[in-house]
Structure 1
Amino acid sequence: MKINLSKYLIAAFSVLILGSCSSDFLEKTPTELISEDAATADADALTLAINGIHRSMYMRYEDQNQMGAGGVMQQMDIAGDDLVYPASNGWYLSVYNWTAVINENSAEIKFPYRTFYRIIRNANAIINNADAATGSQTVRNMVKGQALLYRAFGHFQLVQIYAKRYVNGTNNSQDGVPLALTTTDMVGRSSVEDVYKQINKDLDDAMVLLDGYKKPDNSNLDLSVANGLKARVNLVQGNWAVAADYAAKAKVGKSLMSIAEYTKGFNDYTNVEWMWGSDIIELQTEYFGNFGAYMSRNFSSSVIRASPKAINSKLYNQIPATDVRAALFSKTGEHPTLNLAGFNKYPYTSQKYLAVSTGDSRCDVPYMRVAEMYLIEAEAKARLGSADAAQVLFNLVSKRDPAYVLSAKTGQALVDEILFQRRIELWGEGFRFLDLKRTNSDLDRTGANHSTIFTGGVLSVPASDKRWQWLIPRAEINANPLVRQNEL
């Protein structure tokens, strides 16, 4: 992949450190920026650099709805079947109706590609300079370890979106994505197999460097997050034993939320269950560009007033009344506990996410929670036929639904139950499109509250459809002829 300061694929390293979100920062020339050497010269500079990457996870990029990883999370749910648009507001509508994914000039397919390669590029600047920097070895290890996790995370997101899915037991020689391991090399697309090998290597190397590190807050990445990412990656690869093992490691010493805590708005990264998230502080708020400006129910933006996000009605109607997760949605759309005067009301709308207030859209963004680790461990063990898979699931679901009983199911029936629980638990957290793709499942929006108008008639898509592989942005191919396009 060609790394070029005049192109959209990367952000200037110093811009991330300074926290700028100017729409014209990509047009600056290298001479106007802090050099990579200066930004990684010593332990203090490296610390500022990794904090810049933390910031890049939720900073606003070009358009109002392009707020880093949180924006991509929305795309991954909007392209699926469980998040519903009850009305049209224009934001991400082309993802909802699947027209963006076949348009190589679409801003919507460019956004994840650009976002994660920016993160990767800046992680590379740290990874490739940390050993030569001066200052504390402990700090340098901490920063480099986190940078390796960011590089692994970026490549993992990209290969899931833009390449064909990983199939366990095959050679996976299909085109993946460019493996960016330096800040300057031009490379073509590596195979899916090779991309996953590098992802796992980065995760393993990070674990060594982060061993013993005690992070100050949940915007930082530590060994538990590394274990969680290792579990995620190997779940997608179908390496069930590895996925189960690392998910179990990731949740050691971690707690699940109480029922009372569960309905407080999913907006606080200090929550006992959050393992990794972004803290949106008032000084760095993006106002109408925050995650809460699109996914909350109570912020008074035109998007939320006119077209709040809803849950698939078929899915909702399967949630037991005794399950606290049902309380995250309003079947009537009235939301009696919220003051929604002047807001449009639609059935099955979500109040999972709540912003600070109607006038303050800040809402911390969750990237990893302990509940996901229970689900990964349970699914992987169920696919292995392990006797304790149902117990792992019970340990999670009984915390959400006191009436839930230990499942007597086995085999595929138990896997299906776990996947159902995953849909409820992780709704709106950026997994559904990717889960459908990794399990080779059809998109099925039929019989629910999806509108044929707003979906553009896209109510079902077979798993074999080429549109599951989003097109590589034309801007990338123009900049780097080594990159091949997906099937048009």
Structure 2
Amino acid sequence: MKIYMFKRVLATSVLTFGLFACSSLIDVKPRTAIDSSTALVSVDAINAAVNAVYDALQSTDLYGRDLIAIPEVLSDNGRATNNSSRLVSEYQNQPGFHMINWTQDYYGINLANLVLDALPKVTMTDAQRNSYMGQCLFLRALMYLDLMKSYAYMPTAIIPEYNRGGVPVSVSGVLTLPQVEFPGRPTIDVVYTQILADLTVAIAKLSATAKSRGPIYATQGGAQALYSRAALYAGKYQEAADFATSALASGIGTFQSKATYVAGWRTAINPESMFEVNFQTSENIGVNTSLQTTFTTLVTLGNTATTGGFGDVVPTAALLADLESEKDATGAVLDIRRQLYELGTKGRGAQNIETTKFLGKNGTINLDNVPVIRISEMYLNRAEANYNLGKVADALKDLNTIRTRSGLPEKASLTGSTLLDEIIKQRRLELAFEGHRFWDLKRLGRDVVKTTNLPFTDYRVLARIPISEINNNRNLKQNYNY
């Protein structure tokens, strides 16, 4: 989506490169003569600023690539091909090669905070104010959750001797240097409490938001879905189940049938999306780092004669084996999700099986909307939450909803660790190459098993906080061993 006038009316924010006291923040200079302290004084300016928060998610450091691709290559789902030398170090889990979303997420958080601070002062209808507030709180919660996934342990699996807490939290916007704070790291639980509090208010404020605007905007159903995810990560299983149920009933996103599921990945907006990052033609990331070029060499389905992208990250043999693990009497693979993987071209080197979940669905090569939350995740969230609550029948029902939609037979009876393992397996297959696998292994305290294993007890499970942040904020503790 476009930033419209926002870059002109709020371009003097000193927070262009970060929320807290990093060197780039101190050095940044105004890009126009307009005083940003007087910029957010009209509905048009507020609307432009809210669009800018959405636009922040398009960064390659966030949903433009890294938050989708890197969790696959850090885990056992993705293998780096070395076709362009990109993401090879991440695949090898080398120290310091991890997520780098700190700066861009805090930039987006500060934009959201500036809007939230300005809302009470701008004349508008209550409906407008509620909508803008709900959207900004949803986006702030999403960005804080993404920071926590990268730089902190999850409440369900912690190495106490390595734990340095959560990430710094600020709920007020910063425009001038005297406002810059030097916060430390609160506890993990404090940050999750803030995330869930933001989503609680967002759900209430977005109650009147038109469903027709979704899923490229925050909606009540999208906020309920994000709450379910955050609660699952936090080990709040009853809340994870309850909010998954609310999200499924919200009318945002349509659960696909076996007959329509694959086709849904060929449309500009995935019909299962409850929230996705929208890209317009002018916002094309391009051939070097887009999701299409990262995941496939193909330009169009089935055409191995024309090379487009680099295919830097392809599915591992283990992932493909799981996709092909159930077959009919003739030996044919039952799982329809296997149809989202096909042979790439020879244009970048050896041919590999590649994912086609991102293939220029907006009608232009390297231009894809990015699903952040899909309705299928809600069934899997609820299945896992109910398993942890001891509600085996309910967990099995949701598991079978995903299995039968995917072309697999129902499981008549599973219990104990066998049931959990099947839920996690279906989560792996359903959400592969959508940026979930590393976080799922991390929150379960499981090792990454691949060519070079990464034990959960290894410090490299956490990302390194930018050194500039540590150098400029003596209250900020670096993650262990960095």
AA of the residue aligned to 2:241: A
Give yes or no for the alignment of 1:140 onto 2:129. yes
Aligned partner (choices 84, 87, 90) of residue 89 of structure 1? 84
* Counterpart in the other structure of 2:170: 180
Give the stretch that moved more between structures: 121-130 or 66-75: 66-75
Give the stretch that moved more between structures: 240-249 or 316-325: 316-325
* Counterpart in the other structure of 1:114: 103
Cα 1:267–1:74, aligned 2, differ >3 Å: closer, same or farther? farther
Aligned partner (choices 394, 398, 401) of residue 395 of structure 1? 401
How far residue 370 of structure 1 moved from its aligned partner, in angstroms, is 0.2
Distance in 2, matches of 1:357 and 1:210, equals: 27
Distance in 2, matches of 1:202 and 1:273, equals: 24
How far residue 35 of structure 1 moved from its aligned partner, in angstroms, is 4.2
Aligned partner (choices 126, 143, 165) of residue 154 of structure 2? 165
* Counterpart in the other structure of 1:460: 453
Cα 1:360–1:130, aligned 2, differ >3 Å: closer, same or farther? same
Deviations 1:170-195 (A, max 9, x none): 99985111112223333111111111
Runs of 4+ in 1 over 6 A off after TM superposition: 24-27, 168-173
How far residue 259 of structure 1 moved from its aligned partner, in angstroms, is 3.5
How far residue 203 of structure 1 moved from its aligned partner, in angstroms, is 0.9
Task: Assess if the C-alpha contact under 8 Å between 2:133 and 2:205 holds in 1.
Answer: yes
Distance in 1, matches of 2:448 and 2:242, equals: 30
Distance in 2, matches of 1:201 and 1:264, equals: 37
TM-score (structure 2 length as normaliser): 0.83
Give the stretch that moved more between structures: 181-190 or 321-330: 181-190
Distance in 2, matches of 1:361 and 1:260, equals: 27
How far residue 248 of structure 1 moved from its aligned partner, in angstroms, is 1.2
Distance in 1, matches of 2:27 and 2:47, equals: 26
Task: Assess if the C-alpha contact under 8 Å between 2:130 and 2:205 holds in 1.
Answer: yes
Give yes or no for the alignment of 1:484 onto 2:477. yes
How far residue 440 of structure 1 moved from its aligned partner, in angstroms, is 0.3
Cα 1:35–1:201, aligned 2, differ >3 Å: closer, same or farther? farther
Aligned length: 441
3-state SS of paired residue (1:371): helix
Deviations 1:183-240 (A, max 9, x none): 3333111111111111111111111111121141321001111111110011111111
Cα 1:80–1:32, aligned 2, differ >3 Å: closer, same or farther? same
* Counterpart in the other structure of 1:421: 426
* Counterpart in the other structure of 1:272: 271
* Counterpart in the other structure of 2:43: 43
AA of the residue aligned to 2:245: A
Aligned partner (choices 170, 173, 191) of residue 195 of structure 1? 191
AA of the residue aligned to 2:93: W
Matching of residues 361-380 of structure 1 within 5 Å? 361-380=366-385
TM-score (structure 1 length as normaliser): 0.82
Task: Assess if the C-alpha contact under 8 Å between 1:235 and 1:376 holds in 2.
Answer: yes
Give yes or no for the alignment of 1:383 onto 2:388. yes
Cα 1:263–1:57, aligned 2, differ >3 Å: closer, same or farther? same
3-state SS of paired residue (2:186): strand
Give yes or no for the alignment of 1:245 onto 2:242. yes
Deviations 1:257-293 (A, max 9, x none): 2334433473545332111112222132232343323
Give the stretch that moved more between structures: 140-149 or 281-290: 281-290
Cα 1:356–1:429, aligned 2, differ >3 Å: closer, same or farther? closer
Give yes or no for the alignment of 1:437 onto 2:442. yes
Task: Assess if the C-alpha contact under 8 Å between 2:382 and 2:398 holds in 1.
Answer: yes
3-state SS of paired residue (2:477): coil
Deviations 1:59-105 (A, max 9, x none): 45xxxxx4645322211221111111234422222221122xx33xx
How far residue 137 of structure 1 moved from its aligned partner, in angstroms, is 1.8
* Counterpart in the other structure of 2:462: 469
AA of the residue aligned to 1:167: T
Give yes or no for the alignment of 1:125 onto 2:118. no
CA RMSD of aligned residues (A): 3.0
- Flag structure 2 segments of 5+ consecutive residues without an equivalent: 1-12, 175-180, 301-305, 327-332
Identity of aligned residues (%): 25
- Flag structure 1 segments of 5+ consecutive residues without an equivalent: 12-23, 61-65, 335-339, 447-458
Distance in 1, matches of 2:375 and 2:453, equals: 32
Give the stretch that moved more between structures: 85-94 or 242-251: 85-94
Cα 1:309–1:171, aligned 2, differ >3 Å: closer, same or farther? closer
Give yes or no for the alignment of 1:9 onto 2:15. no
AA of the residue aligned to 2:291: F
Give the stretch that moved more between structures: 260-269 or 390-399: 260-269
Distance in 1, matches of 2:418 and 2:307, equals: 39
* Counterpart in the other structure of 2:9: none
AA of the residue aligned to 1:53: V
Give yes or no for the alignment of 1:310 onto 2:314. yes
Cα 1:481–1:418, aligned 2, differ >3 Å: closer, same or farther? same
* Counterpart in the other structure of 1:449: none
3-state SS of paired residue (1:263): helix
AA of the residue aligned to 1:239: K
* Counterpart in the other structure of 1:20: none
Cα 1:306–1:151, aligned 2, differ >3 Å: closer, same or farther? closer
